[in-house]
Chain A
Amino acid sequence: MANSIKNHLAGKLEDALTEDLKKKASSNYEGLSDEELFTFAEYNSEEAERTGYSNYSYWKATLQVFLKNKVAVFLLIVMGAIVLFTFIQPYLPNQLDPNLINNNPMTFMQYRNVQPGELPQFILGTNSIGQDLWARIWAGTRTSLFIGLAVAIVEAVLGITMGVLWGYVRKLDFFFTEVYNILDNIPQTLVLILISYMVTPSIQSMIFAMCLTSWIQMARFIRNQIIIIRDRDYNLASRCLGTSTFKIIMKNLLPYLVSIIMLRMALSIPAAIGNEVFITYIGLGLPSDTVSLGRLINDGRELMMSPDLRYQLIFPTIVLSIVTISFYIIGNAFSDAADPKNHK
């Protein structure tokens, strides 16, 4: 019953549309002869060359879309400025060494817990043993950003290579799943302690320990993405036409994943920095003469209970928060921009 009504309605609609179309067509072209209606196109060699040309360039379009996101561009500039400043800060005049314990030249006492702005030489005050907090924050930011960046790069290179193999080559699935289970379950603390017995703890050994277990997470992420697109028609077609596996991976699979890989990488930088804070918290952090944001935050935590010393926790937390928010928003904006569906 319902169907017949629908058919009837559809039929009516079709009739009305055809009628309308006919009316339009006849009104424009009525009374024209065949010669007026049809003329031969002339052959033009220059026009022929131009067929199919488009000045679309993937990276250019990505950049254009990204630049439209004002907040992300602003944060990118802020991040750039922070990175640049961590490098030039030690060479500016009147900068103190982050590890130097400052003594008052009159009384020979340490400048302990000087409030921010109390003395002109200590912009952000000093900590409980008289070290300059301003210098320490910049040195710590430099260390933490370096750790984050290094871990993210190693994760990306190892994680993408292994993840693609894991996802694309079915025979390796069992092997990698096993490796994942093992690496995922070995406590990071154990790895850190063992490494600290083998070599003296340093930034390098910390980065090594962090990468040793974290690349597998990236690989798993890539693997899941690869599995989703592995058997799409265009890949099947390439395979049937005999394209080599390497070429399929480089030309078909990875370009498709650019946007999500970028987002994941942008997020792994703050994740590594946060991990460093945690490692310092459990007491396995960098040696005490290497300042990092983790050390500053943990030093600050201990003074939390006295309100007028809280600035020692708040300043490093603000820097860490700015870094995290920036990477989060830049990563999201870039990921949106790298998706060709958002290109015009």
Chain B
Amino acid sequence: MLQYLAKRFGRSIISLFIIISVVFILLRQMPIEGYFPNYEKMTDLQIQNGLEALGLNDPIPVQLGRFWVDLLHGDLGESITYRQKVPVTEIIAEKIPYSVKLGSMAIVVSLLAGIPMGAMMARYKGKWFDKFGTLFIVFIQAVPAAVYYLFIQLYGTIILDIPLMFDPSNPKSWILPVISMSLGNIAYYGMWLRRYMVDETNKDYVKLATAKGLSGNKVFFKHVFRNAFVPLIQYLPTSFLNTVIGSIYIESLYSVPGMGGLLVQVIKKSDNTMVQGIVLLYATVGVIGLLLGDILMTVIDPRISLSKKEEGR
């Protein structure tokens, strides 16, 4: 197991290296106008000096090398256009807490609502609760999030009498963003848990348990549920870690000063250092989430083993 983890960790580092290098090279293909807010008024000399100061005149491998050396010293550089001369880490550290707080709350809410929903739907398959739940899931999937978020904000603020905009000091204003963000996940957890539980119900061990006289609820929640939940466990760490990405719709609707939309914004402003920093963060989070998910799965279900020797072909 340890050997497997070490190997996988090493591979992840290589992946991260390649990802950042590819993004780095892609970023260098962007037109140079983006680096200077007042490009039209600048003389050729000023532009050359500006590029020199940003270190963009060196060949790409040299720039890439410099970036990696700085990174190993924990230095991600300073923002170029987004907030000039402010270290990237400082900007990100300022914004992450908002997104993580809202996102984690949304995931907790969606787990608390989605799992009972999926379980009940599978338990009473074909009954009115199942039909009602399916209707909800289809609705959430069909109506674009951008649209129902708007309606929630519009009517939610009126009905509950809470402020329209997000305010960190007023917990009431957190309710609507959290609910909006969790709706999609409630549908997701509900849909997949139902699917997995229904599949699991047809297995032999369930028939045996019923045959030997266990009560329906006991079979369902002690046996079926625990087995059906394993595939979902794998996504849990990823979903919690992915909250650093933030929700672009929600955060712009309620003007939350979080990470949502930051990446899009800095790419549009060709703020290379910011883009590199954010991509590195997202990629790291993605790789760690996958690894944690796999480990968690082996802990929950001891039959799964990651380091199993695969027979060769």
A residues with a Cβ closer than 8 A to B are 170, 178, 181-182, 184-187, 189-191, 193-194, 197, 231, 270, 274, 277-278, 281-283, 297-298, 301, 304-305, 313, 317, 320-322, 324-325, 328-329
Given the complex, which residues of B lie within 8 Å of A321, measured CB to CB?
A: 142-144
Residue B147 contacts which of A190, A282, A313, A329 (CB distance < 8 angstroms)? A313
Q: Are A178 and B18 in contact (CB under 8 A)?
A: yes
Measuring CB to CB, which residues of chain B are less than 8 angstroms from any residue of chain A? 14-15, 18-19, 22-23, 26-27, 29-31, 138, 141-144, 146-147, 150, 154, 248-249, 261, 263-264, 267-268, 275, 279, 282-283, 286-287, 310-313
Chain A residues, Cβ within 8 Å of B279: 185-187
In the complex, 16 of the A-B residue pairs with CB atoms within 8 angstroms, ordered by the A residue number, are A178-B15, A185-B282, A185-B286, A187-B267, A187-B275, A194-B26, A277-B146, A282-B248, A282-B261, A301-B147, A305-B154, A313-B150, A317-B143, A317-B144, A328-B138, A328-B142
The 10 lowest CB-CB distance pairs between A and B, nearest first, are: A324-B142, A181-B15, A321-B142, A185-B283, A325-B142, A185-B19, A189-B267, A189-B264, A282-B264, A317-B147
Which residues from B are CB-within-8-Å of A184?
Answer: 286
B274: min CB distance to chain A, Å: 12
Q: Are A170 and B313 in contact (CB under 8 A)?
A: yes
A186 touches B26 (CB 8 A): yes
For A304, what are the chain B residues with a Cβ–Cβ distance below 8 Å?
Answer: 150, 154
Contacts of B267 in A (CB 8 A): 187, 189-190, 193
- Supply 15 further A-B pairs (C-beta < 8 A) apart from A187-B275, A301-B146: A170-B312, A181-B18, A185-B19, A185-B282, A185-B283, A186-B19, A186-B279, A190-B27, A190-B275, A193-B267, A282-B264, A301-B147, A304-B150, A317-B143, A328-B138
Who on chain B is nearest to A305 by CB?
Answer: B154
Contact partner, A301, options B141, B150, B261, B310, Cβ 8 Å: B150
State A193–B31 Cα separation when bound (angstroms): 10
Nearest CB in chain B to that of A298: its residue: B146
Q: How far is the CA of A182 from the CA of B279 in the complex (A)?
A: 11
* Bound: A305/B261 CA distance, A: 22
B261 CB → nearest A CB, Å: 7
Q: Is B143 a contact partner of A190 (Cβ separation < 8 A)?
A: no
A189 touches B141 (CB 8 A): no
Please measure, in the bound complex, the distance between the C-alpha atom of A190 and the C-alpha atom of B22, giving whole angstroms: 12
Report the separation of the CA atoms of residues A282 and B249 in the bound assembly, to the nearest whole angstrom.
10
Chain B residues in 8 Å Cβ range of A197? 29-31
Q: Which residues of B contact A324 (CB under 8 A)?
A: 141-142
Distance (Å) between the CB of B235 and the closest chain A CB? Answer: 14
Contacts of A187 in B (CB 8 A): 23, 263-264, 267, 275, 279
Is A281 in contact with B249, judged by CB distance below 8 angstroms?
Answer: yes
